Amino acid sequence: MIKSRLLAARSDLTDLSSAKRILLIIGGGIAAYKCLDLIRRLRERGHHVRVVMTKAAQQFVTPLSVAALTNERVFTDLFDLDDEREIGHIRLSRDTDLIVVAPATADLIARMAGGHADDLATAILLATDKPVLVAPAMNPRMWLNPATRRNVEQLKRDGIDFVGPAIGEMAERGEAGPGRLVEVPDLLAAIESRFSSTSDAKPLSGCRVIVTSGPTHEPIDPVRYIANRSSGKQGHELAAAAARLGADVTLVSGPVSIAEPAGVRIVRVSTAEEMLAAVKHALPADIAIFAAAVADWRVATPNTSKIKKSTSDAPPALTLAENPDILKTIAQLRKGRPPLVVGFAAETNDVVAHAKKKLKSKGADWIVANDVSSPIGVMGGERNAVHLLTSAGVESWPEMSKTEVAIRIVTRAAAHLATLKRDAAE
């Protein structure tokens, strides 16, 4: 009780004009414990949080713990006589600015996609006219199961937003892959970015944005290829952030195994040559962000059949050819060049020095540089620490989630584009 009073007192000191009403639906799963920290952080920012817990969620987190943090009653039962006397599930579905479902299990996602309303959580979700953000959490095989993929695609078509899942080790011993609930800072950033996207001000409304993401796969033979460790997480987050600010976004993605961002046009490619062709086809654009980790080299003539290992012969020699430089090609267009071209530089040493050379040689407006030798595991990880290089100098940002990095970059890009347009009009 003392802790909840302190949280409430801190909330009173927050700018109430930015406070939002959030309805958090906690699903059943071991990751439910993360919601306690999420509630605390949302309250610290002045947001009003009410919670609905499924029956399964109560096996992992107690309603008493949640109530102590929200300083509110926790809702659990569709057939509560006191609440339903006033049509409680309808009131809960409307009296909010955003509904967050976390963790969203495979079962809960399936029932949402099927339009079920057999408990309080699904009844609210079916009755709401408010934006919904879903944070999945489940075993990797459940997430990759065709049934779950169909359900997720259906919900995306219905206008439901997703954040995650993250990739990593699971609670089950020996299990790893996509299916972890995103970390609380990432979930918090995704929630607050929805508020900016639902406000009247959408600074990228009417703008076209191209984002490249992920690795490229350059074939050696039908079963082997040259690639890198890029997960595509940063590029996908950039595309999602731009879409939430009102942009018409084309995401050109190499082969990845992460969830697709909502509200963007996705073009899937494999090789660097295919990626360049897709980018050219997506022009014209106001902003082009090249976050993909494109392979510098490809095999000049890939084998049409699998290269067989032989004990008598020497290892086969691979003749390499240089791939097209997508960033440089677009940045140096004489006609149709986007007003803002942003490149990424993944380095293992002398990060800023190499990025400065790249900014000049490629002709880009900005370079976002990071150290991929870092112990935080940038490639394939959830966090990033970047340097933003512009004509004005170098800004070194602290380590943060890739969601937060994306929001910062896209918000800055929107402001820069507005300045360019204002200067052109004067």
228 part of the active site: yes
Can you tell me whether residue 160 is helix, strand or coil? coil
Confirm or deny that 155 is annotated as ligand binding: no
Q: What are the phi and psi torsion angles at 50 (to 5°)? A: -115, 150
Q: Which residues of 204-237 are buried (b: 16+ CB within 10 A; e: fewer)?
A: beebbbbbbbbbbbbbbeeeebbbbebbbbbbbb
Quote the tokens at residue 68.
Answer: 């102590």
Confirm or deny that 79 is annotated as ligand binding: no
Confirm or deny that 344 is annotated as ligand binding: yes
Q: Contact at 8 Å (CB) between 67 and 52?
A: no
Quote the tokens at residue 257.
Answer: 């195994």
Q: Contact at 8 Å (CB) between 121 and 105?
A: no
Q: Contact at 8 Å (CB) between 408 and 386?
A: no
- Cα torsion angle, 334, 337, 340, 342, sign: negative
Confirm or deny that 327 is annotated as ligand binding: yes
Q: What is the CA radius of gyration of the chain?
A: 24
Confirm or deny that 200 is annotated as ligand binding: no
Can you tell me the distance from the alpha carbon of 359 to that of 395, in angstroms, rounded to the nearest whole number? 14
| Identity of the amino acid at 157 | R
Can you tell me the distance from the alpha carbon of 163 to that of 404, in angstroms, rounded to the nearest whole number? 13
Catalytic residue (one of 71, 145, 228, 303)? 228
- Spatial CA neighbour of 33 closest among 180, 147, 234: 180
Burial of 334 (0-12, 13-18, 19+ CB in 10 A): exposed
Alpha helices, H only, 85-173: 88-94, 106-113, 120-127, 140-144, 146-157
Can you tell me the distance from the alpha carbon of 410 to that of 289, in angstroms, rounded to the nearest whole number? 9
Annotated binding site for CTP: 296, 306, 324-327, 344, 358, 362
Annotated binding site: 296, 306, 324-327, 344, 358, 362
Q: Catalytic residues, which ones?
A: 228
